[in-house]
Amino acid sequence: MYAPHTQRDIEQMLGAIGIESLDDLLRVPNDIALKAKLDVVPALPEYQIQRRFDRFAEKNAGVEYRSFLGAGSYRHYAPPAIAALAMRGEFLTAYTPYQAEVSQGYLQAIYEWQTYICLLTGMDIANASVYDGATALAEAAIMALGTTGRHKILVSRALHPNYRAVLRTYCDGLDVSVDEIAFDENGTTDLAALAHAVESKEYAAVALQSPNFFGIVDTLTQSALDAVNASGTIPIAVVAEALSLAAFAPPSSWGAQIVAGEAQSFGVAQAYGGPYAGFIASTQEHMRRIPGRLVGKSVDNAGRTAYVLTLQAREQHIRRERATSNICTNQAHCALIATIYLALMGKTGLRDAAALNLARSRELASAVANVDGATLKYAAPFFNEFVVDVGAPAEGVLASLQALGILGGVDLGRWYPELQSCILMTATELTTSADINALAAALDGAINVHAHI
C-alpha cells in the first residue's frame, strides 16, 4: 500500500492525536457503516502483479497483427528520447502548476505547446489542452454558442462519427440541436448544401474536418466561406490527424476561426484509446471564451521572465457556474509528450514524416487498386488514409483478412449504411512494403470468397 508507517509510528501518532485506535478515527454512523464483504481483486506482491498483467498482455494479440487501422488513432514513430524526458519524475508527479515559482519548467513547456499548436494551425492562440479531439470539438461548439447566442450547430457528415456522437452528447445537455450536412460523391462536404443551410442564420457554428474521416482534404471554398461569414456562423476546423498539419495549408488559410484537434500523432501512445491530447486554438477575438488552462508569459518581482496560469477568470474554480467550461484536470502530460516530439522532429523531421505518410499510403492505394474487385472510392487528395470499396460486405472481408493476421482497416458500414462495402485503410511511415504486399495478396483472396457468397 506504499505507506511507510511502523507500528510504533502509528501508536505515537494516535497518542499525539489523543485517540485510541484507527477505527475510532474513521468511524461513521452505524446506519451507513460498511457491512458488505468487498469483492476487490486480491493483493499480490509486485512481481506477481507483473505476472498477472503478463496474462492480460498475452490476450492483446492485436498488437502483433499487420495493421492498417487509423480513423483517429495513428501509429507513428516516437523517438525513445520522448519517454526518457517526459517520464522524469519532476514532470510526471507534478500537479497543475498553481504555484508558478516552483513550476516554471512545466509552465514554459506548456507555453511552448501553445506556440507549436499556433504555428501548426495558423491560429493566434491555443489552450493548454483538452481531453481529446472529440471533446475539443464539443468545447469549440460551446464557445460558438456563447459568442453567437444561437442554439444550433451544423456539422459535416464526413466528420469523425465518434466526434459527432460526443458533440451530440454535450449538446443534449444544453438543449442544442446538431444538424448534419451530407457529403458528396467526391467524399467531401456538400458545400452548396452548407451555404444554403447557414442562410437561416440559426447556426452558431459549422464544423468541418480536414483531412476528413475518409482521409480527404475537406475545406471551405472562398464562396462557401463568404456565405458562412455573411450568416454570422463561426467556422470550426477539426483536425484528427495532427501530422497532416505538416503538409496541408493550415486551417487559418481557409477561414477557420476555431480549430479543434487531436495531437495523439505527436508521440502519444495509442493505448487502446487514451489518454490523448486534445487542443483548441482560435483567433484572438475568441480568447476570453476559450476553455481550460492558458499559460501566459510575464515577469517576476525582480523583472525576470516568468510563466504563469492566466486569464483564470474564465475557469470553474473562480467563476463556478458561469465558467466557460467545467474542465479542471486536462491532458498536460500528453501535451508535454507532443511538445517534446515536435522539438525532436523539428521542421525537417516533421516534413519527412508527412512525406513518408503520403508515400506509403499511395503505395498501399495503388497495391489495393490493383486487386480485382477493389476500387478506390474517392479520387480527391488524401493524407494517409483512404476509402476502398471491396464490392462485398466489408465486415466479411475484414474477418477473412484477420484470419490471416491482418487488420485491414475500419469497416465504414459501422456508421454509414451506404458504405457497407467500404473499408477505411491507413498507412503511416511505419507501414512496410511487406505489410502492403501481404494485404494486397490476402485482399485478393478475401474478395474472391465474399463476392461470391
- Quick one: 76 or 377, whose CB is closer to other proteins? 76
- Quick one: 119 or 193, whose CB is closer to other proteins? 119
Subset of 240-299 contacting other proteins (CB under 8 A): 245-250, 253, 262, 269-276, 287, 293-299
Q: Which three cell numbers stand for residue 115?
A: 506556440
Binding pattern for the stretch 175-204 against other proteins, x by CB under 8 A and - elsewhere:
x-----------------------------
- Taking the C-alpha atoms of residue 246 and residue 263, their distance in angstroms, rounded to an integer, is 12
Cβ at position 375, least distance to other proteins in Å: 20
- Taking the C-alpha atoms of residue 431 and residue 440, their distance in angstroms, rounded to an integer, is 13
Binding pattern for the stretch 86-125 against other proteins, x by CB under 8 A and - elsewhere:
xxxxxxxxxxxx-xxxxxxxx-xxxxx-xxx-xxx---xx
Cβ at position 347, least distance to other proteins in Å: 4
Subset of 312-371 contacting other proteins (CB under 8 A): 312-313, 315-323, 325-334, 336, 339-340, 342-356, 358-359, 362
**Residue pair 153/141 in contact by the 8 Å Cβ criterion:** yes
Amino acid occupying residue 30:
N
Q: Cα dist. 136→164, 290, 318, 356 in Å? A: 11, 11, 22, 28
Binding pattern for the stretch 411-440 against other proteins, x by CB under 8 A and - elsewhere:
------------------x-----------
Q: Provide Rg for the chain, Cα atoms.
A: 25
Cβ at position 295, least distance to other proteins in Å: 7
- Taking the C-alpha atoms of residue 383 and residue 425, their distance in angstroms, rounded to an integer, is 11
Among 7, 46, 434, 452, which residue sits at the site for other proteins (rule: CB under 8 A)?
46
Q: Cα dist. 147→73, 150, 250 in Å? A: 31, 8, 23
Among 20, 62, 179, 221, which residue sits at the site for other proteins (rule: CB under 8 A)?
62
Cβ at position 141, least distance to other proteins in Å: 12
- Quick one: 301 or 452, whose CB is closer to other proteins? 301
Residue 44 binds to other proteins (criterion: CB under 8 A):
yes
Q: Which three cell numbers stand for residue 135?
A: 471533446
Q: Given strand 234-239, what is the order of strands in its sheet? A: 125-126, 278-282, 258-262, 234-239, 203-209, 152-156, 177-181
Cβ at position 54, least distance to other proteins in Å: 9
Among 149, 304, 434, 452, which residue sits at the site for other proteins (rule: CB under 8 A)?
304
- Quick one: 181 or 290, whose CB is closer to other proteins? 290
- Give 417-448 as a 3 state SS string: HHHCCEEEEECCCCCCHHHHHHHHHHHHHHHH
Query: Smallest Cα–Cα separation from 439: which of 430, 429, 449, 431?
Result: 431
Residue 220 binds to other proteins (criterion: CB under 8 A):
no
Residue 12 binds to other proteins (criterion: CB under 8 A):
yes
Cβ at position 228, least distance to other proteins in Å: 20
Angle, helices 222-230/191-198, rounded to nearest 10 degrees: 20
Q: Cα dist. 129→57, 142, 275, 322 in Å? A: 30, 16, 12, 20
- 378 alpha-carbon distance from chain centroid: 25
- Quick one: 19 or 369, whose CB is closer to other proteins? 19
- Quick one: 305 or 437, whose CB is closer to other proteins? 305
Binding pattern for the stretch 63-82 against other proteins, x by CB under 8 A and - elsewhere:
x-x-x-x-xxx-x-x-x-x-
Residue 144 binds to other proteins (criterion: CB under 8 A):
no
- Count of residues near other proteins by CB under 8 A: 198
Subset of 376-395 contacting other proteins (CB under 8 A): 381
**Residue pair 233/204 in contact by the 8 Å Cβ criterion:** yes
Residue 222 binds to other proteins (criterion: CB under 8 A):
no
- Taking the C-alpha atoms of residue 235 and residue 260, their distance in angstroms, rounded to an integer, is 11
Q: What angle do CA 118, 270, 214 make, to 5 degrees?
A: 70
